[in-house]
Structure 1
């Protein structure tokens, strides 16, 4: 499932490509026809990211088109003329109304692609914890959410009501970077470590947005002189899906936690 950096990068890219333009919006598959019809021909005012959720705001339309990619959703941007016809599986297609042959953004496989009214939007956002990539992301709210939970910190970080946008890769990498045992009860994590978890998440997610990929390896562990944008997959992470920890060389443990495979290094994180 795409993590928060992907969602924020999509919001930024779609704002740049489509923002301020009247769009022709269709649902070739048919499952998002109501949303498409409600915004077809309207100007896209903004694209907001909240954790793993995207909200497309159109002029003169109350509420927003909500997209959640889930496990299988993805956007494809088509810019090579002639623009091909959408596939039968295309949930939404967005094209500039004034120049439909210049660009198309296609969505397929998403868990959600629907028009939310303001009350539904408020309810959605109320279920989410603070987003480390947003300007209104609140580290104190993150700390308060953890303080109310007995579950392991490794499970709490995947709870979108605790913090919005962290997925399985960032869970593993943030916990390792802060040397936190993933089985520590969330409410027992010291306050200074909680702040370190937040700050590390912010830094890693921002790097992910900038590079458009997850790269969590600290500079001192990366190949000397190699640009971070060109690191191989196994060079981009310290413990996730690795057999040996990149930091200490010890074995990486794989265990199920919160219905996802947890990757962690007992030598580094338990001492």
Structure 2
């Protein structure tokens, strides 16, 4: 039996979430439900099972950006996920971890969109072994083991690369950004989090801009690129153990006051 449950939605959470995602993505409710079901079954599997969708899943608000989207080398889409301990306790409070977007990389042009989840934590390898995402899960595990449900989502649920490489993205136009921010606000209303922890400046700025009624808590993104930021914040080397301990001390102190 798995120690954690992946995206076991309660009540009307899934239906309400689908209604929001369908504002920007062309996908049927049954298809989205099936994706979550498959990811649940693959939660403890080894390897990298992939799930793809046509680029037609998304249409920009403007023709100019739609052309950039159609010409993009690579596109990433992540669907939100929620994790909790598998302990039959149904009264857990929810904490949101909010990132920026589903960044991707590829040395080859990819026509189909690979559908994932934030930080790919539906994959056992990414939770337990991958150099970067293993740390992300270590931090999330602190919250899970304290009895919280953890809802993982991004401000922008799509990432569009330049046309000639898969390393650099094209920022969404303002009209499309607003569409995703509107959805984010609705997501937070659906899951009624005790707190929203932001990873990175874009997430922090967005939460501040929507007048969040909950409790925001800003934290540097755990990306390896932020080693120096974490080291300066902690006043010690940004080792994995130091970062986990620092996170546990600061975040649990914050949550315990709520």
TM value normalised by structure 2: 0.30
Higher relative contact order (CA 8 A, sep 6+): 2
Structure (1/2) with the larger helix percentage: 2
TM-score computed with the length of structure 1 as normaliser: 0.29
